[in-house]
Amino acid sequence: MQAKLAADAIPRSEKRNSWIRTIQKYKVMYILLFPALLYFAVFKYIPMAGIIIAFKNYNLALGLWDSPWVGLKNFTDFINGVYFWDIMRNTIVISLYKLLFGFSAPIVLALLLNEVYTQWFKKIVQTITYLPHFLSWVIVYGLMVALLAPGDGLFNMILKENGVQPISFLTEPAWGRLLVISSEIWKDIGWGAILYLAALAGIDPSLYEAARMDGASKWRQLWHVTLPGIRGVIILMLILKLSHILDAGFDQIFMFANSFNQEKIDIIDTWVYREGLERLKIGLATAVGLFKAVIGFVLVLAANKIAKKFDGQIW
Amino acid sequence: MIKLTIGEKVWQVAVYTILILLSLVCLLPFLYVVAVSVTPESEVLRRGIVILPETFTFAAYKEVFISHGIGQAYKITLFRTIVGTALNVLFTVLAAYPLSKKYLPGRSPFLIFIVFTMMFSGGLIPTYLLVRSMGLLNSPWVLIIPHLISAFNLVIIKGFFEQLPAEIEESSRVDGASELQSLWRIILPLSLPVLATISLFYAVGHWNSYFDAIVYLNDSSLMPLQVVLRNILLNVATQSADSMANSGAVSQFAVQMAAVVVTTVPILIVYPFMQKHFTKGVLLGSIKG
């Protein structure tokens, strides 16, 4: 307060001095902060500036400055490309399925765990179901190979013993999305339940007592006490997930996709990788990345706004 | 306890059954993978599906270590996990501390500068070109430096520092301790749980990531565990393509499964000790998020 009054009253050179004095006073703090600012500037903001590549016909040999400008050509090429609807559809369909099933499964698991009063049993189930979250998608794919490989995979061995033709689960386009979605559920059902379990633990037990006194059945308790108790968390998580609708899971699909099943599970991110770094259509791939980043940005901002609105009402 | 009605008893049985089934679905694939990896080819040919092997062989493991270079891949993965996590935590904490001080002039623009990177990014291609122009391609450091600080983890730690009572630190400052001393002696010891959580997040990230190595590295001796496992699973010809052909005792499938086991076991070993910290991490993240 005093500093501000003083700064208003004295001439500019003095003001600059007060700046220097501030920096000097907090010198150590700024020095501590500096590496992080440098890191974000270099590894996050320089690539952001690099999106001008999206408006160029980028050529690795010519480099950033000498590659010719092409305006919006990369964007129109993308939107008019034959692949556009395929990868948009794959991305959104996979995301929506993951939302529909991957989102509700942890809620169901949390509700079930909440019905368990044997603490050791609950703990064991939690420990087991949280585990897959910590495995890489490569390992998860390895488990799928174990179960589904055409020759030796467990399911195909069983099919063979029963005289049924083996199925190439891992390469058959018709199985692609099902594998992507079910493995996602398998991997994150337990992990996703943690948040809801915490919310469930926060429900006032006297509400259940009161409901039971009124003769409410289990279902009515679920409907009138439990679900309203975790509604806030559910809505919040749903909004956040919706804002990431264009992130269909790169690490996973990059592992699962092959030239056979690609038509059904190729998403924006995997397409950008192939087009940009394998076929070296760098301008086009950057444009598609930018297209996705802008939509994602708008969705996240909208989600934050909506979430804040709910914040006020629910919490 | 309240007496259960028949309906409630049925409900309880159903709940336990579903949870047991779910746990089995989570566990059984691992058991099958282990079984396949140690079952000799001859037993598979004789018995068909083997869940509980009668005879054991470690030939598949030998194959994985000798001809697929898993040992070298382990070194790379340990390097990125240990050195990477240490640097991650160091730089995250160093930045989180000043940002947790509400009195620091310029704090909120700096925060916006950092949080904005969580919402918008230049994307894969410009990042690749940057890394390339910095000469980081084909260096093991490329697995660490481009992901040095996670804005998300930074915000979590900052939030934790903020809610530590200011008086504790003030009293040490009155006694003449510098900012660094009070960070080291007062703040960090109070933050051990959250530091453990963040370290584990970073470490698991390092252990599990594979895509950066595929994009940024060429040299097969620099490939981390996950990439080697991926190549084995996808049947990509590795150095060992011929050695595999002439060692008829081991099936390609058993080798793949042995590779899965070798990559998974370290996670299984540390998992029981870190589960608690992880659970905490989810809740920490959600409060801030």
Which is it for the CA torsion A17, A21, A27, A30, positive or negative?
Answer: negative
pLDDT at A311: 61
Among A33, A142, A152, beta carbon nearest to B95: A33
Among B12, B253, B279, beta carbon nearest to A194: B279
CB-CB neighbors (< 8 A) of A29 in chain B: 97-98, 101, 104, 179
Write the CB contacts of A103 (distance below 8 Å, at least 6 apart in sequence): A192, A237, A238, A241
Minimal C-alpha gap between A71 and chain B (Å)? 18
pLDDT at A315: 34
B154 touches chain A (CB under 8 A): yes
pLDDT at residue B177 tops 80: no
Least confident of A7-11, A99-103, B172-176: A7-11
Closest C-alpha to B16, from A125, A192, A185: A125
- CA dist A77 and A85 (Å) reads 13
- CA dist B113 and A38 (Å) reads 11
Arithmetic mean of pLDDT, B50-59: 85
Which among A78-82, B66-70, B209-213 has the top mean pLDDT?
Answer: B209-213
Among A37, A112, A138, beta carbon nearest to B19: A112
| pTM score | 0.90
Q: Chain A: residue nearest B115 by CA?
A: A40
pLDDT at B2: 59
pLDDT at B249: 66
- CA dist A128 and A106 (Å) reads 14
pLDDT at residue A182 tops 50: yes
CB spacing of B129 vs A130 below 8 angstroms: no
Cβ–Cβ < 8 Å for A94, A181: yes
pLDDT at residue A302 tops 50: yes
Chain B (50-79) residues lying within 8 Å, Cβ to Cβ, of chain A: none
CB spacing of B122 vs A289 below 8 angstroms: yes
Cα–Cα distances in Å, from B178 out to A30, A102, B163, B196? 14, 49, 20, 25
Cβ–Cβ < 8 Å for A50, B122: yes
Tell me the domains of chain A and their CATH numbers: 2-55 (no CATH), 82-314 (1.10.3720.10)
- CA dist B81 and B218 (Å) reads 20
Tell me the domains of chain B and their CATH numbers: 1-57 (no CATH), 66-288 (1.10.3720.10)
CB-CB neighbors (< 8 A) of B215 in chain A: 273, 277
Among B19, B130, B179, beta carbon nearest to A116: B19
pLDDT at A12: 66
pLDDT at A313: 44
pLDDT at A303: 87
Best B16, B125, B273 residue to mutate vs chain A (most A CBs within 10 Å) = B125
Best A1, A20, A29 residue to mutate vs chain B (most B CBs within 10 Å) = A29
For the stretch B200-226, pLDDT in tens is 889 999 999 999 999 999 999 999 999
Minimal C-alpha gap between A36 and chain B (Å)? 6
CB spacing of A64 vs B230 below 8 angstroms: no
Compute the residue count for chain B. Answer: 289
**B106 in helix, strand or coil?**
coil
Burial class of residue B71 (count of CB atoms within 10 Å of its CB; 0-12, 13-18, 19+): exposed
CB spacing of B119 vs A301 below 8 angstroms: yes
Q: What are phi and psi of B201, to 5 degrees?
A: -60, -50
Q: Which helix (H) or strand (E) holds A220?
A: helix A218-221
Cβ–Cβ < 8 Å for B200, B277: yes
Among A50, A254, A296, beta carbon nearest to B122: A50
Closest C-alpha to A229, from A114, A147, A82, A78: A114
CB-CB neighbors (< 8 A) of A47 in chain B: 121-123, 126-127, 129-130
pLDDT at B67: 81
Cα–Cα distances in Å, from B211 out to A251, A256, B165? 7, 13, 41
Closest C-alpha to A197, from B288, B283, B287, B277: B283
Cβ–Cβ < 8 Å for B132, A60: no
Among B18, B120, B179, beta carbon nearest to A29: B179
Arithmetic mean of pLDDT, A294-299: 94
For the stretch B229-274, pLDDT in tens is 999 999 754 434 444 444 556 788 999 999 999 999 998 888 888 8
